[in-house]
Structure 1
Amino acid sequence: MKLLLTVLKGIHKPAVYVSHRRCLSSCASGGLLPHSDEPLIVGSSRELVQRLGSQVEVRTAFITEEEERAFLRELESGLKKKRYEFDHWDDAIHGYRETERVSWGAACEEVLNRVRSAAFPEGSPLLGPVHILDLDKTGYIKPHIDSVKFCGSTIAGLSLLSDSIMRLVKEDAANEWLDLLLPRHSLYILRNEARYNFTHEILKDEESVFNGQKVPRQRRISVICRNLPD
């Protein structure tokens, strides 16, 4: 993995280390996608980026526009019956609608099978319902760690409709952090230490800056798969 020292203005420290991840397939239009030599992950230190390199992954253009439309066709009618909530039960999310889904049409199921193959070890027992989180343009997810009682060592999420920034911060050391650029149509994967020892959040629009570049936040739907606890 090639690591370069660069400057990040306005987020945490002025100096960060970056991890370069190249686009794994032809890039679908409709979202901000970095060029092949631009970073998807920046961090507070070289050591942290190296240590979490196998535990934090962003795969750009994981789905196509047509596959995104297939998810929206299945989800929109149910989401429209809900209203955006601005007070989550544990104060972790602001401006959201959510649901769970067990059964999918063929096109979506094919994508979810790709997610499972990419993110989880073969034979790993998965949490049955797929979690759907719909963030309003003004919505955001506050720093939190998902309960170990309800999900296991790996989280994998598709990003629909909008680019966004995910921030990971070490629970007991706020000066250790990673920022992940999540382009529309991408898949992110968090495993093990990145899952258990770091909070994760989706930045609000006014804070959505990555590597010195503004990343406008629109309405964002995430389709999230998790495995079961050990």
Structure 2
Amino acid sequence: MSNVSCISNIVRLNRLAEPYFLNVRQYRLVTSNYAAFWKSRKVGTSYCHVQNFEGCWEKYMIFGESYSASKNVMVRDMTVIEDFLNEDEERSLHEEVEPYMRRLRYEFDHWDDAIHGYRETERLHWNTQNASILQRVRDVAFPPGTPQLSLVHVLDLAKEGVIKPHIDSVRFCGNTIAGLSLLSDSVMRLIHEKNREQVVDILLKRRSLYIMRNTARYEFTHEILGNAHSKFGDQIIPRGRRISVICRNEPDTTTETK
């Protein structure tokens, strides 16, 4: 066979094989992008990146008409990350806490009258998948090296339950509270402790993560609205049973005890 014939056959084979190699390249591109997406999701957004989440605050934050304080400060100190969990992760967390919570009765007398219709516990040990999820929360919510409480607070709020306006005592946690919302959407309302005209409503969608720190943590009361008042702007937000899984940093011993 002449060199010309060999070259001709090679060209013909390359043309026949070209669609196959094109599909292979497209497959590799798609799987590469998919893997990169899930890798970034599992690692989680870093604490530094959360500081730049301010551009999407209008999706989850509504300021009252009389709000006159610095909106920039509130946007900085109250962050919500939608779809922080996927459905499987939400199910995994729920399935781990449910057997214990199911044995408890809903309480309607809280020690400081802050919560009605609730069950709660604190957990130190989690299965491997859920420990990884909680580590993602910690990586997002707290600067590297921040001393954190080992116990994770689990609060189960009944469909008819409410969390009344309150500021968490500085005896029990530091300047940052990070909570996952399971099972139901809800609306958190922040009201300035000394000027009740300063009101901010926060939409906490199911499977979202909220991070409340500094000004939002210390200067504003927070509450979870009951079904009768559960609205975000003009939108009614039906609220069912809600479980929040909350990570906190250690109390600041230099802060005056409340």
TM over 0.5: yes
Which amino acid is 1:161 matched to?
Answer: L
Residue pair 2:57, 2:75 contacting (<8 A) in 1 also: no
Does the aligned pair in 2 maintain the 1:127–1:227 contact within 8 Å?
Answer: yes
Query: Does 1:86 pair with 2:108?
Result: yes
**1:42 to 2:62 alignment:** yes
Q: Equivalents in 2 of 1:67, 1:153: separation in Å?
A: 27
Alpha-carbon distance change, 37 to 187 in structure 1, aligned in 2, over 3 angstroms: closer
2:248 is aligned with 1:196: no
Matched-pair contact (CA < 8 Å) for 2:73–2:215: no
| From 182, 190, 193, the counterpart of 1:168 | 190
- CA separation in 2, counterparts of 1:190 and 1:219? 22
Q: Report how far residue 51 of structure 1 moved.
A: 2.1
In structure 2, distance between residues paired with 1:180 and 1:57? 9
Instruction: Give the SS at the match of 2:154.
Output: strand
What corresponds to 2:156 in structure 1?
134
Q: Write out per-residue CA displacement over residues 134-170 of structure 1, whole angstroms, 9 at most, x where no aligned residue.
A: 0000001000000111110000000000000000100
1:63-74 → structure 2 map (5 Å cutoff): 63-74=85-96
TM-score (norm 1): 0.82
Q: Match for 1:225: what amino acid?
A: C
Q: How does 1:1-230 map to 2 (within 5 A)?
A: 39-44=59-64, 45=67, 47-230=69-252
CA contact (8 A) 1:48 1:176 kept: no
Please, what is the CA RMSD of the aligned residues?
A: 1.6
- Which residue is equivalent to 2:26? none
Instruction: Give the number of the structure whose residues are more often helix, by fraction.
Output: 2
Query: Displacement, 1:49?
Result: 2.1
Q: Distance in 1 between matches of 2:69 and 2:167?
A: 22
4+ runs deviating over 4 angstroms: none
Separation in structure 2 between the aligned mates of residue 48 and residue 131 of structure 1, nearest angstrom: 31
Relative distance call for 1:40 and 1:46 in structure 2 (3 A) is farther
CA–CA distance in structure 1, aligned partners of residues 221 and 57 of structure 2: 28
Q: Going by fraction, where is strand more abundant, 1 or 2?
A: 1
- Output the CA distance in 2 between the equivalents of 1:62 and 1:119: 12
**Would you say the 8 A contact 1:96–1:134 is kept in 2?**
yes
The Cα of 1:90 is off from its aligned counterpart by 1.1
Give SS of 2:70's match: helix
SS in 1 for 2:197: strand
Identity %: 54
**Residue aligning to 2:53:** none
What is the CA–CA distance in structure 2 between the aligned matches of 1:53 and 1:141, rounded to whole Å?
22
Unpaired stretches in structure 1, ≥5 consecutive residues: 1-23, 26-35
The letter for the 1-side match of 2:63 is: G
Tell me, in whole angstroms, the C-alpha distance in 2 between the residues paired with 1:64 and 1:140.
Answer: 26
Q: What is the alpha-carbon distance in structure 2 between the residues aligned to residue 176 and residue 149 of structure 1? A: 26
Count of residue correspondences: 197
Q: Which residue type is aligned with residue 138 of structure 1?
A: E
AA partner of residue 137 (structure 1) = K
